[in-house]
Amino acid sequence: MPTQRGYLIAFEGLDRSGKSTQCSRVAARIRSAGQEVKIISFPERTTPIGKLIDEYLTSKEDLHPRVLQLLFTANRWEMADKIVKLIEEGTTVILDRYYYSGCAYAAAQGLGLAASRHAEVGLPRPDVCVFLDLGAEEAARRKGFGFERFERDIFQEQVRIQFDELRRHEDEGEDMVIVEAGGTVEDVDESVGAVIARAAERSGSGPLRFVQPWG
pLDDT, one tens digit per residue, over 16-43 is 899 999 999 999 999 999 999 999 999 9
Q: Model confidence at 149, in pLDDT bands (50, 70, 90)?
A: low
Q: How far apart are CA 94 and CA 89, in angstroms?
A: 15
Is residue 163 assigned to a domain?
Answer: yes
Is residue 39 assigned to a domain?
Answer: yes
The answer to whether residues 166 and 103 touch, using CB atoms and an 8 Å cutoff, is yes
Percent share of the chain, pLDDT over 70: 92
Is residue 3 assigned to a domain?
Answer: no
Q: Model confidence at 150, in pLDDT bands (50, 70, 90)?
A: low
DSSP labels for 133-173?
A: E--HHHHHTSTTTTSSTT--HHHHHHHHHHHHHHTTSHHHH
Q: Are strands 209-210 and 124-125 parallel, antiparallel or unpaired?
A: antiparallel
pTM here?
0.92
Judged against a pLDDT cut of 60, whether residue 147 lies above it is answered with no
Of 142 and 55, which is predicted with more confidence?
55
Collect all residues with Cβ–Cβ distance below 8 Å to 24 and sequence separation of at least 6: 39
CA 82, 87, 88, 90 dihedral sign is positive
| CATH code for position 63 | 3.40.50.300
Domain count, the chain: 1
Provide the residue range defining the domain that includes 206. 8-210
Give the model confidence (pLDDT) of 58-85 as tens digits. 888 889 999 999 999 999 999 999 999 9
